[in-house]
Structure formats: C-alpha cells, structure tokens
Copies of this chain bind each other. A is one copy, B any other.
Amino acid sequence: MNQKYILPDPWSIIEEGFDAEKVKSSESLFSIGNGAMGQRANFEEDYSGETFQGSYVAGVYYPDKTRVGWWKNGYPEYFAKVLNAPNWIGIKVSVNGEDLDLHTCDQVKNFRRELNMKEGYYRRSFQATLQNGTEVMVESTRILHLDQDELGVINYKVTALNKDAEIVFSPYLDGGITNEDSNWDDKFWDTLSVSEADHQGFIRSMTMKTQFHICTYMQSDILVNDSEATPAYTSEKKDQYLQFNYKVNISKGDTATLRKYAGYTVSHHHKPDNLVNAAKDAINAGRTMGYEGLKASQAEAWSSIWEMADITIEGDVEAQQGIRFNIFQLNQTYLGKDARLNIGPKGFTGEKYGGSTYWDTEAYCLPFYMATKDHTVARNLLVYRYNHLQKAIENAEKLGFSNGAALYPMVTMNGEESHNEWEITFEEIHRNGAIAFAIYNYVRYTGDISYVAEKGLEVLIAIARFWQQRATYSTHKNKYVILGVTGPNEYENNVNNNWYTNFTAKWCIEYAASEIDRLKQDAPAEHTRIMEKTRLSADEVTQWLKVSSNMYFPYSEEHNIYLQQDGFLDKELITVADLDRSQRPINQYWSWDRILRSPYIKQADVLQGFYFFEDHFSQEELERHFDFYEPFTVHESSLSPCVHSIQAAKLDRMEQAYTFYLRTSRLDLDDYNKEVEEGCHITSMAGTWLSIVEGFGGMRVRDGHLEFHPRIPKHWDKYAFKVNFRGQILKVTVSRQGNSFELSGSEPLSIKVKGETKTITPSN
C-alpha cells in the first residue's frame, strides 16, 4: 500500500494531525454525498495550499468536444462529462483582521477529521494560531441531507482561545468554477443571475449546451455561545459571486458559530424559473428543522440504511472499517431514487473518467443494490439502460451494424458514448454482455419476471442481434469466431476469440432466445407485441442460434483450460511471482506494447466468466482455471481483487480470499494504487460487498432459492450481513462456532446451506 494514515475505527474514518501533503487524499476520502449531490472534503475557509476543489450535482453534465490524436470513424464528436459545479460550502473567516488559512497561519494543532459513517456527517476540528497571535479553535460539521437532498448544512464554530476576537464570517457562493478535467478549457457554466434578499443569496447558473439549470443558494444564521445573534450584514456581489459579511465580537473563551444552509435546486425537479423559489423553500425547511434537527434526522436516515445494509465483522477492526467505508460511499453515490442517475466510478469524489456509467454498474454494483434495497432500486438501474436503448442502437449503426442491433457505450452519462480509444470504444464490447446478464441476474434474484416482457426483452433482442452480426463465420475453423476485441483484461487489445467475450455472446443469444420462447408460451400477447415492435422473426432467431451453437472457444488440450484468447500460449509465461517487484505496477513502468505481449492480466477475464456463469462449470474446472490464470494476474484494476476473493473462497483458499478482500476493501483508505487524491473507486466498492456475501458467505440464488456456503477468515471471530430477498429480510451470521439465520418476514423461507435445505421461520 502507498499510505496508511487513517485511524482504525469501526464506524468512522479518522485522520489526526495536519499534513499539507495529505490534503488532496483526504479531500477524496472524506467526501460526502447524498445521491443527488456531493463534494470533496474541501475546507470551508480559504486555503492557499494544494487542493483539488470539487462539488458535483448528479446528472448534470457537459458535452465536451472530443479530443484525440488521430480521429477514427465512429468516435463520438462530443461526450458527456461530469462537471464541477458552483461552490456553496465556502466561508471566509477573518479573525482580528487576518484571514484564517491553514496554509499561512503560524501553527495548527489538534487537527482532526472524522467522517462519521453511522450518522452521516463530516466533521473537522483544529486549533490555529494566526500570524496576529490570536489562537482559535474551529469545529466544522457538514451534512448533505439524505431526505431533503437539495439541502446541505454547515455548522462552523470558532472559539477565541487566548484573547477577545472580532470574527468576520463571510459565507459565499461562487459560480466561477472550472474543471480540472477539460479538453478545450471551454466555459461549462453560464451564470444567469446573482441575487440576494434578506440574508438569502442565490446564483442561477446554466450549463452551456446541455442547459441544465441550477440555483446555488445560501442563508446563514449566527450564534454566540449557542444564542442566536445574527447581526446586520454587508454583501459583495460580482458577476458570478456573492458574499455576505457578518461581524461578531466575542470575548476570550466564547464561541461564534455560523450555520450555513445551502445547496442546489436543480432543473431535474423544478422548472428553471422556479429554482429560486424552490431554494427559498429548501432554506425555510432547513431552518425550521435547524442544524440539530437536520443532524438528528440525518442520523435516523443513515440508521435505516445501516439497518439493512450493514455488515458487521468482529475481531478485525480494519476489515470492519473497510467494508463500512465501501457501503457508506455506495449509498452516498446512488440511492436509486431516480432512473436518470447511475453510479459514477468516482461518485462525487473526483472528476476522472468522463461520463458516469460503466459496465461496473451491471457487473459489480447491481447485486449490492438488489440485496440491500427494495428491488425498485435495482430495477431503476435496468430501466436506465432501457431508456438508452435507442442511443445504443444508433451507436451500433455508427459502427456499421443494422436491424436494431445495439452496442451500449463503454462510458456514458446520457446514453451516448463518452470514450474514444478505438481498442476500448469499438472493441471492449463484452460490456453488452454484462447489461444482458444484469437482466437475468435481477430476475433470478428478485423473481420480478414481469420486467422481461415490460422492458428487458427489447434490450436482450438488440444485444443478441449485435452478437450475431459481430461474429464472423470462419470457414477455416467451421465455427463462428469473434475477431478484434478487448476483453475485461484491458492488458490485451484487439485479440481474436477472447473466451469471456465469446462465451458471453453465446450466452446472451441463448438467453434472449429462451426468453422469447418462454413469453410465447406464457404471455403470447406480450410476445406478439414485442416481436412486432422489434420486427423480429423466428427466422432471425434461428440465425442467432446458428451462431451461438457454433461458437468457437479457444482451448488448450495441454493445460486442459480455456484460453483467454487465441495465441495466449505463445506468450512468455513468467508468473507475477517471478516478475521483478521494481517493475510493478507494470502500467507505470512498461510501454504499452510490452504490457500487451506479456501474459499479465489486469483484471479477471476468464475467471470473470466463471464468476458470472458459475453454474456452467464444475469446481474442478474453476480450480484449474484459477490455478492457471491467477499467477499471471497483476490486479491493476480495482475490479480484480473482489472477483478473485470470491473465487478463492469458493475453492476454500481462505487466506488468499482474505488477502484479496483486504486489498479491495481498503483500496482507497490505504491508497494501494497511489491515486486516491484523484477520487475514490466507488464502483469497485460493491465488489467488496460481493466478496463477503458471495465469497465468504457463499450466497447464490438457484431456482428461486437462496443458497449459502458460509466460510470465515481465520482473522475474524464473527461476521453478519443481511439480504432483502423478495421482500423478506434474512440476517446471516457466521462465526467460528457456527452459522445462524434470522428472518424478518411474513412466511418461512426455504434456503440451502452447504447443499442442505433448511427452512427458516420468521422471528418477528
């Protein structure tokens, strides 16, 4: 790992001591969000040291003009990019005439950050001695409210420690923000108005081109020693900026507090010309509840999330902290309220990666949301792709496909492709498979078969069409081959017959065809409607099945394994263990050609297929493939260790599974990849959950029943998780002494544990 400064604690992320070198990392780790907006843990007061400012509004993006060295046909001309939004957290603080700035003050003591995951707030406190000799204690608590998700509140306390002090609080709004990640230094936001009235301030902004409207707003109350004391204020207004100045004189030992109620109202939910009024409503609602009321209701809201989603681990506080951090961040990023939103790879913690949606959503995040929320949340994730189907069809048309074949984008915000490297954009097509598999996985888990006829089958048909057209008949092999792809292992580009891709393609076609058959029997009217809507004939399905039933899979007789792709055995097969440590991570030390011709695997590829499609393979096959491929895997993708943890657990290799678990769960906390300052790896956090529930817990759904195969790492005394299975809540506790299952529900639940059927009776 790269750095390890976060203090172990079961419920909080804690940093103690001020280190300017860690400011950007901590800004990522202590980020907060509420699904609708979020922000990096930037200081409220001015900070002239190195910082990466970031505040984001879910679903608000800008179509940045694509930049590329050499243009290729089919690249998107524009793509949706996550936007840094106006700043509403800012509070300039002047103490006896000197600006408070941790970069310039004489001394900083007792600096502490806490991200309280249990109650959902971020608190920072410190003592600072200014150059003018005044010593103050500061404590700032920030909440992005889960229920009123356009509202945030900051409780900013300044205590005069060594002398009387004149404190000037200058809360402000700043619409003049820029993006770190911008192709052409375009201006992304147009400020429409800056207005104020009676302690309230508003900046209305609109994104260029996409014309999302937001109103950034604030109102502040001032307290002295807990008594309300809001003084008169002056204001400073610029083109894109508004600041109020509140002057308070306090005596030595007294505390002045500013409570800033602020946030964004957004045109997703309001008419553009009603945004200021909506902001006034939000302020009023916030001030009515007050800071304490908001904090209490926030704790309640998080309590109900934790009630369902928490995983407890006894005997290993770092593992406990890790899994809670992952669950917390996932819930901060996406709560499933809005089918227009999705789970960005950096959430609200940074700007890296344009767009918000990768195959990560379907491949890693969906099971977490299925099991820890009402099934409408997972359904919304599927509907998101259904709503993008037409754009996926247009995307495929740009690449020469026809007849309603769809290629979902590699990266997207609004259904359009946001990536432009040919080897990824055009070739990493396995993503289509994950989108089809998610429908299967959702129906398997939730039993909500109605989704298939209602929406899912159209997606399955469009994807099956893509695979049928994308395969090439090789007269030479007398089989269908899939040429020129990049598999999940992105350390191979433009390979032929990537086993994972070929298997996925075959599976997608067969699943689509079987669902068509099923509907024909079970819901002939729906079947007719969909066949007509998609202009699908039985003949065409026959063509699909010709491809799927004659798909080629590269295989090694010698090793008795499927080959990751054609020609894999021609590589120099030196395992990672024999690779000089100084060469790793290879993506930092090797040129791309060297990576490509090496055997090293960035993330699970064949094993990813064994994970998705486990019922197609025996334990022995899994073991052979794990033993062959894992030694070549460098896990330089955040998505790799979790799958390996699950597979190692399945093979009863608990020590290895535990090592992979730690790597995935503390990836950001311990900054394994030396990049946490750019933001956290949100989507891979769902993989951490998987590695406990599906890995250690061995949870599967087969034939409509939950199955478990509980195992426990030797470092742990006990762990427990809950899953929402078709409206009933099952709590699974695994300990050295044995396992227990506790059910809250209306009727008994029949499950299998290590192959044995058990019926669990509701305990409530």
Is chain A's interface secondary structure helix, strand, loop, or mixed overall?
Answer: loop
Q: Which of A153-161, A468-476, A640-648 contacts B (4 or more CB under 8 A)?
A: A468-476
Q: Is the CB of B69 within 8 A of A481?
A: no
Please determine whether A400 and B483 come into contact, CB atoms closer than 8 angstroms.
Answer: no
CB interface residues, A 445-496, toward B, < 8 Å: 472-477, 481, 483-484, 493-496
* Minimal beta-carbon separation of A394 from chain B (angstroms): 13
The residues of B that contact A473 with a CB separation of less than 8 Å are: 572
Given A567-B566, A597-B483, are A591 and B493 neighbors across the interface (CB < 8 Å)? no
Stretch at the interface among A281-289, A296-304, A418-426, A670-678: A418-426
Q: A472 touches which one: B474, B591, B592, B597 (CB < 8 A)?
A: B597
Interface size on A, residues (CB 8 A): 47
Quick one: given A481-B570, A570-B472, A571-B483, are A592 and B493 in contact (CB under 8 Å)? no
Query: Closest residue to A485 on the B side, CB-wise?
Result: B593
Contact status B422-A592, CB under 8 Å: yes
How many Å lie between the Cα of A496 and that of B496 in the bound state? 11
Q: Does B484 lie within 8 Å of A596, measured CB to CB? A: yes
A525 lies within 8 A of chain B by Cβ: no
Most buried by B among A422, A593, A597: A593
With a cutoff of 8 Å between Cβ atoms, the chain B residues found around residue A477 in the complex are: 570
Residues 31-72 of A, flagged 1 when their CB comes within 8 A of B and 0 if not, give 000000000000000000000000000000000000111101
Distance of A38 Cα from B472 Cα, bound (Å): 50
Chain B nearest CB, measured from A588 CB (Å): 7
Minimum distance in angstroms from A468 CB to a CB of chain B: 14
Q: Is A149 close to B, CB under 8 A?
A: no
A493 cross-chain contacts in B, Cβ below 8 A: 493-494
A426 in contact with B591 (CB, 8 Å)? yes
Report Cα–Cα, A400/B571, bound state, in Å: 17
A73 adjacent to chain B (CB < 8 Å): yes
| Contact call A69/B72, Cβ cutoff below 8 A | no
- Are the CB atoms of A400 and B594 closer together than 8 Å? yes
> A233 within 8 Å of B by Cβ?
no
Given contacts A567-B566, A597-B472, A597-B483, contact A74 B591 (CB under 8 A): yes
Contact residues in B for A426 (Cβ distance below 8 Å): 591-593
- A474: B residues at CB distance < 8 A: 569-571
Contact A476 B570 (CB under 8 A): yes
A69 CA to B591 CA in the complex, in Å?
16
- Nearest opposing residue in chain B for A474, CB measure: B570
Chain B residues positioned under 8 Å from A495 (CB to CB): 494
A589 at the interface (CB under 8 A from B): yes
Q: Is B597 within 8 A of A484, CB to CB?
A: yes
Most buried by B among A69, A398, A475: A69
Q: Which of B73, B567, B592 contacts A592 (CB 8 A)?
A: B73
A590→B476 contact, CB < 8 A: no
A573 to B473, CA, bound (A): 10
A579 within 8 A of B: no
Any chain B CB within 8 A of the CB of A399?
yes
**Whole-angstrom CA separation of A590 from B400 in the bound complex:** 7
* Apart from A400-B594, A494-B495, 6 more pairs, CB < 8 Å: A400-B590, A426-B591, A483-B567, A483-B596, A484-B593, A484-B596
9 A-B pairs with the lowest CB-CB distances in the bound complex, closest first:
A74-B591, A426-B593, A476-B569, A483-B597, A484-B597, A474-B570, A422-B592, A72-B592, A399-B591
Report which A residues bind B (CB closer than 8 A).
67-70, 72-74, 398-400, 420-423, 426-427, 472-477, 481, 483-484, 493-496, 558, 566-567, 569-573, 587-594, 596-597
A-B contact pairs, 11 of them (CB 8 A): A69-B420, A70-B421, A73-B590, A73-B591, A74-B591, A74-B592, A400-B590, A400-B591, A422-B593, A427-B593, A474-B570
